[in-house]
Structure 1
Amino acid sequence: TDYDTSDRLYFEPLTYEDVMSVIEAEQQSGTVLGVIVSLGGQTPLKLADRLPAELILGTRAESIDLAEDRDRWNALCSQLEIPQPAGGTASEITEALEICGRIGYPALVRPSYVLGGRAMEIVYSDDDLASAMVALSSLGSLGREGGLSSERPVLVDRFLEDATEVDVDAIRDASGEVIIGGIMEHVEEAGVHSGDSACVIPPVTLGAGTLAVIEDYTRRIAEALGVIGLINVQFAVKRSTVAGDSVPTPDAAQVFVIEANPRASRTVPFVAKATGVPLVKVAARVMAGATLSELRIDGTLPDAVQGDHIAVKEAVLPFRRFPKADAVLGPEMRSTGEVMGIDLSFGLAFAKSQLAAGDRMPTSGTVFMSLADRDKPTGLRAAKHFAELGFEIAATTGTAEFFKKEGCSVSLVVAKVGSEEGEEAEDGLDAVELLEAGRIDLVVNSPRGRGPRADGGYIRAAAGLHNVPLLTTASAALAAANGIAETLAHEPVVRSLQEYHAGVRRP
C-alpha cells in the first residue's frame, strides 16, 4: 500500500466480486499475467478456488485446499509419517464428544477456515466442549457465516500443554528446492496464538537434532503440498527432562506438526529483518517463475547474515485500553501489533522487546507469583533468578509451599483472591489489595484449566488497572528474569539494522 512501490493501488474489499472487477479493469490496459493470493493472509487464500486457475501465481488452489481440508491433511501427514496431535473433525456435539472420549482432555477446539485463531478454545471437560460447540454453531458468533457443516467442521485436537511451539517460514520454487527462512522458538507455552506469543530467532533452547527434524519435516511438507512460494509450518515440541532436573534436555524431544499454511505468515517481516534475507521479494520472484538458483546468481537471494545477534518478536497487547478484558493469553489472537528487540544475547533482546511493547521491566522490588502446578518447576527457576537479583518474592500459598520445599525463600505468603476463610497467609491483604497498595512491581500468574484460568482474573485485572507489568506464563517470567539480569550487567547498545546485517560478533 505504498504509492512509491505500486504502479496502481486499489482500496477494495477482498471479495470475489471486487477482485474480479479489479482484474477486469487491469485487463483493459493489457494482459494480466497472474494474481498472487498468498501474501495477504487467510482471506485471499480462501478466494483461490474461485478465481480463474490460470491466473493464480505460485501455489495452486488444489494444494491450498490440501493443507486446509483436515481429512486430506491428516492423510498426507500419515503418508509422510510426520506425527500430529491426536484429533478429528466434528460437525455436531455427539461427534466432538466421541473424539474427546478417544483422545482425552484437554482438547483444542477450533473452526476451520478462519483467521487469527478466532473462536478457538481449550476445553477441559464435556461441559466445556458443549459450550464451545454452541458458540461455534448457528447460535454463536460464526452463525452469520453459515455455522457448522460437513464442509466447515470443527477441528478437535489433543492440546499438548507442556510443549514448546515453533514456527518455520520457508520458500520452495518450481524446481523443488526449499530454503528455510527462519525457525522461531516461542517463549510462551503452546496454545498461545502465534500472533500473541513472543518468539526468538535463532532458537535458544532447542538442540541441533530437534532443529534438524523440524527442517526435514518442513521440506517434506512443502514438497508434498507442491508449494511454490512461501509456506509457514507450526510445530509443537514435546520435551522430556532428565530425572531430578526441571530443565528440559535440548534434543530429548518429539516433534508434532500442528498445521501448515501455504502462504506468507505475519512472522515473515520479522524473519527478514533478523536474517537480512528479503523473503517477500524472493517469494514474489519465485511465484513469477524464477528459481532460487537464479535469484542467487542475480543477487536477489543473499546468504543469511552471519553474526551473533539474537532477535525477539513481541506482541503489543491492548489490555490497558480494555481494563475489563481478561489479560490471559490463549489460542485466539488478541494483539494489535508487533515489535522487535535485537541484541547479542537473548536476555538483552527480550528486554528491548518488552520496552518496545510498552512494558518496562522493574529492576528492583517485589515479584508476585501464582502458578499452576505444571508451571512451578520453571517458575522456581525464575523465582530463584529474581531472588539472586535482589527481588523480594511474594506468592500464593500453594506456590510458596513448592518454592520453600525446593529451597527458594518467599518473603510474603498471600492468600488467593476469594480464598476460603482460614487459608494460611502471612499478610491480611490479598493479591489485589497488595497491587492497590503499590507493594507489587511485577505479576506472574500462569493459569491452567478452567478453574485456575478463571481464578486469576481479578489479579490480572488489578495488574492492568495499576499499570503493573503482567506475565501469564512461567517461561515468560524466566525470560524476563534473564532480561533484567542482562540489563543490570550490561548497558544496552543501540545499533542500526544495517550494522547487524553486516555481522556483529560478541566481544
Structure 2
Amino acid sequence: MPKRNDLNSILVIGSGPIVIGQAAEFDYSGTQALRVLKEEGVRVILVNSNPATIMTDPEFADATYIEPITPEVIEKIIAKEKPDAILPTLGGQTALNAAISLDEQGVLDRYGVELIGANIEAINLGEDREAFKGVVERAGGESARSVIVHTMEEALEAAKELGYPMVVRPSFTMGGLGSGMAYNEEDLHRIAGAGIQYSPTSEVLLEESILGWKEYELEMMRDKNDNVVVVCSIENFDPVGVHTGDSITVAPALTLTDREYQKLRDIAINVIREVGVDTGGCNIQFAIDPATGRVIVIEMNPRVSRSSALASKATGFPIAKIATKLSLGYTLDEIPNDITQKTPASFEPTLDYVVVKVPRFAFEKFPAADPTLTTTMKSVGEAMALGRNFTEALQKAMRSMEQKGSTFRFDNPDLSADELAALIEQSKTATTDRIFQVQRALLAGATVEQMYEATAIDPWFLDQLVLLNEVAAEIAASKTLDERTLRLAKRHGFSDAQIGEILGMSEAVVRGIRHALNIRPVFKTVDTCAAEFEAFTPYHYSSYDQEDEVAHHEKPSIMILGSGPNRIGQGIEFDYSCVHASMVLREAGYETVMVNCNPETVSTDYDISTR
C-alpha cells in the first residue's frame, strides 16, 4: 500500500536526558526517524530536552523545541504547531508515558491528533503487566504465575500465594527501575514499596521466580498488511535474574534448538498480532526452563528499544528507519533494503557471523555502590564486536571496554581445593567480575558441570571459556609461536598483547612475528543476507579469515576514531562530534572511515560515513 497522504506534519517526541536504561540509542533511532520523515516530504516537529543529541540539530527538524517532555508542554506545542500525528515510539519509555498522559487528559481528542507507530491500546497492552498477561494467554503462550498489587498490604497477601523468592516488576518504568528479587518479607517491603512509588500507575507485578532460566529476546516488525518479520534473535549469557542491559548478550541466539526457536517465533508473532502493533516494531523477551523446556513470555516493549539499536547494528537492518516508514503507511514488501538494493524489508536478515555485546559499568566512580547485578539495570554503556565465532567476538568486545582488567588472564591460578571452592561460591552471585571468576575457576580445574550448577550459565558458553583456556595452553606450549598456533590464537580473538603475556614476550615482538608470517586481519561485510547478494553500503568488521571484502578507495580518505562505550564523563556528545566531522569531510570531497564499537550511536549507522 502506498504512503498515507493525510499526514503532512508529525510531532516526534524524544527521550530527554540520558539516564541508565535510556541512552544514546534513542538519539540514533530518533535521528533515523527525522531523516525518513524529511525525505518523505513531511513537516517535522521535534520536542526533546537533551541538547547533546544529533536529532536536535536545526537541519533535522522543521521546528525543534528544547523543552521538558511533559504533557503540559507538549499540549502547548500541539496547540501552536497543529500536527496531524504524534510519533512516540522512538523516544523510549519517556515518550510512551507522555503519549499515554496526553490521551488520558483528552489532549489528543481535543486537537484531533493521531498517534502513529503504535496506538494507545497497543501501548497499554504491551506495558500494563496484567493486560499483557491476558495477551500472552490469548496468543497461546504462558506467563509466570503472578499477582498485580497496588499497595504493600496487597503485596504481602500475594506473597502467601506465590512464595519466596519472587520477582517484583513495576509497570510503565524503564531499565528495570524499581524491580528486583524479593527473597523474604524485608526485601518485599523495600523493593515493592519503591516500585509502587516509581510506577506512574502505582502498579507492581509480583511473579514466581524463574531465576536460572535461559533468557532470549526477539526483535519483531509488523505492517498493516499483517506481514511480520523477526529481525534478530538475541541470547543473554547470564540466566534470568540479571537485567538484559547488564548481561553479555549474543546475536543470533546460539543455544536454541531449531524446534525451540520456531516455538519462540510462533509465540512472538501471535503476541505482536494480539497486541495490535501493526505499523512498527517491538521487542519480546522470553525465558526457557533448561530442565523442562517450559517457555515463559517475560515482557514486551511496543517501541524501539535499546535492544533494537543492538539488533540494527548486528544485522544491518535499520529498525527505526523502517518502523518510521511503516508508521507512514508503507508495508514491509514496499521498503527496499539499502544494503543490498535488491531485497525488500520483508526479507528476514541472515547472519554469517556472531555479535557479542558487553556492558560498561562505572562502579569505579562509586566505590560504595553494590556491584551485584539484578533485574534493575546498572550499566552506563556498552560495546559491540563482531567475529566469525563466539570466542573471537567475545574477546574483541571485552577489549573494547577500555578498562584495566577487562580481558581474560591465562596464568596458572594454582589454587588449593579450598580456594577453588571459594571461587566457585563467589561465582554464584552475578557481578561485573563473574565471567572472569568462571574462566579462572575453569582454568584452575573446575568442571563445566560444577560451574553450571553454580551459575546456571548455559554449558555451551562454559565450554567456550574452556576452549579459550585450551587455546591459551597451546600458545604457552608452543614457545616459538609457529604459524599454526598463531592463526589458531587469532581465530579465537587473542590480541598480540595477550599472546605476549602468555609467552613472556612484548606485544611488539608478537606483532613482528605475526607480520613476518603474513598473518593479518581481513575485513568482512555486514550485508543482511550472508553474502547472497552484493552489499552496496560498506559496513565492516575485522577477522582473521581468508578473503578481504573491502573495496578500494576512490577518493582521499580520512579515518575518524569514535569514543567507544558511553561512560560517566564521556557520552553522547562525542558521538555528536564524530557525526558532524564525517558530514563535513564528506562534503569536502573525502571518503570517511568511522571506527567505533558503540552500537547505540548515530556514528555507527551504515550511511553516516563512506565506510
Per the normalisation by structure 1, the TM-score is 0.71
* TM-aligned CA distance change 1:208 to 1:13, over 3 Å: same
**Aligned residue number for residue 461 of structure 1:** none
Corresponding residue to 2:129 among 70, 76, 86: 70
CA distance in 2 between partners of 1:68 and 1:256 (Å): 17
1:490 equivalenced with 2:489 (yes/no): yes
* TM-aligned CA distance change 1:134 to 1:308, over 3 Å: closer
1:19 equivalenced with 2:97 (yes/no): no
**Aligned residue number for residue 57 of structure 1:** 116
**Aligned residue number for residue 432 of structure 2:** none
**Aligned residue number for residue 319 of structure 1:** 363
Residues 246-271 of structure 1 deviation map (CA, whole Å, 9 limit, x = unaligned): xxxxxx61210011111111011211
SS in 2 for 1:42: helix
CA distance in 2 between partners of 1:89 and 1:260 (Å): 17
Alpha-carbon RMSD across the aligned residues, in angstroms, is: 3.6
* TM-aligned CA distance change 1:362 to 1:81, over 3 Å: same
Shift of 1:283: 0.7
Bigger shift: 75-84 or 256-265?
75-84
Kindly indicate whether the alpha-carbon contact (under 8 Å) linking 2:427 and 2:437 is maintained by their aligned counterparts in 1. Answer: no
**Aligned residue number for residue 389 of structure 2:** 345
CA distance in 2 between partners of 1:81 and 1:67 (Å): 16
Residues 446-479 of structure 1 deviation map (CA, whole Å, 9 limit, x = unaligned): 789xxxxxxxxxxxxxxxxxxxxxxx99997765
Unaligned stretches of 5+ in structure 2?
1-53, 430-434, 476-487, 494-519, 532-542, 547-611
Kindly indicate whether the alpha-carbon contact (under 8 Å) linking 1:347 and 1:484 is maintained by their aligned counterparts in 2. Answer: no
CA distance in 2 between partners of 1:371 and 1:94 (Å): 39
1:194 equivalenced with 2:244 (yes/no): yes
Kindly indicate whether the alpha-carbon contact (under 8 Å) linking 1:371 and 1:474 is maintained by their aligned counterparts in 2. Answer: no
The one-letter amino acid of 1:322's match is F
SS in 1 for 2:320: helix
Kindly indicate whether the alpha-carbon contact (under 8 Å) linking 2:216 and 2:236 is maintained by their aligned counterparts in 1. Answer: yes
The one-letter amino acid of 1:41's match is G
CA distance in 2 between partners of 1:208 and 1:477 (Å): 21
The one-letter amino acid of 2:407's match is R
Equivalent residue runs for 1:155-304 within 5 Å: 155-227=205-277, 228-240=279-291, 253-296=293-336, 299=341, 301=345, 303=347
SS in 2 for 1:88: strand
Greater percentage in strand: 1
**Aligned residue number for residue 34 of structure 1:** 85
Bigger shift: 47-56 or 224-233?
47-56
The one-letter amino acid of 2:84's match is L
Equivalent residue runs for 1:129-148 within 5 Å: 129-136=188-195, 142=198
**Aligned residue number for residue 573 of structure 2:** none
Shift of 1:92: 2.3
The one-letter amino acid of 1:351's match is Q
Shift of 1:277: 1.2
**Aligned residue number for residue 373 of structure 2:** 329
Corresponding residue to 2:177 among 84, 97, 118: 118
**Aligned residue number for residue 421 of structure 1:** none
Shift of 1:163: 0.3
SS in 1 for 2:66: coil
SS in 2 for 1:285: helix
**Aligned residue number for residue 163 of structure 2:** 104
**Aligned residue number for residue 552 of structure 2:** none
* TM-aligned CA distance change 1:407 to 1:196, over 3 Å: closer
Shift of 1:97: 2.5
SS in 2 for 1:189: coil
* TM-aligned CA distance change 1:48 to 1:475, over 3 Å: farther
The one-letter amino acid of 2:423's match is S
SS in 2 for 1:48: helix
CA distance in 1 between partners of 2:250 and 2:185 (Å): 36
The one-letter amino acid of 1:231's match is C
CA distance in 1 between partners of 2:455 and 2:235 (Å): 21
1:360 equivalenced with 2:407 (yes/no): yes
Residues 205-231 of structure 1 deviation map (CA, whole Å, 9 limit, x = unaligned): 111111111111110011011102011
Kindly indicate whether the alpha-carbon contact (under 8 Å) linking 2:218 and 2:233 is maintained by their aligned counterparts in 1. Answer: yes
How many pairs does the alignment contain?
410
Shift of 1:204: 1.1
Q: In percent, how many aligned pairs have the same letter?
A: 25
CA distance in 1 between partners of 2:385 and 2:466 (Å): 16
SS in 2 for 1:257: strand
**Aligned residue number for residue 551 of structure 2:** none
Kindly indicate whether the alpha-carbon contact (under 8 Å) linking 1:196 and 1:315 is maintained by their aligned counterparts in 2. Answer: yes
CA distance in 2 between partners of 1:110 and 1:303 (Å): 35
CA distance in 1 between partners of 2:63 and 2:306 (Å): 24
Equivalent residue runs for 1:437-456 within 5 Å: none
* TM-aligned CA distance change 1:364 to 1:268, over 3 Å: same
Residues 276-298 of structure 1 deviation map (CA, whole Å, 9 limit, x = unaligned): 21111111100111111211499
Kindly indicate whether the alpha-carbon contact (under 8 Å) linking 2:448 and 2:459 is maintained by their aligned counterparts in 1. Answer: no
* TM-aligned CA distance change 1:486 to 1:115, over 3 Å: farther
Unaligned stretches of 5+ in structure 1?
241-251, 394-402, 409-443, 449-471
* TM-aligned CA distance change 1:167 to 1:356, over 3 Å: same
**Aligned residue number for residue 370 of structure 1:** 423
**Aligned residue number for residue 451 of structure 1:** none
Kindly indicate whether the alpha-carbon contact (under 8 Å) linking 1:347 and 1:485 is maintained by their aligned counterparts in 2. Answer: no
* TM-aligned CA distance change 1:485 to 1:317, over 3 Å: farther
Residues 2-61 of structure 1 deviation map (CA, whole Å, 9 limit, x = unaligned): 43544444322211122233334434xxxx332210111111111223151642112101
**Aligned residue number for residue 150 of structure 2:** 91
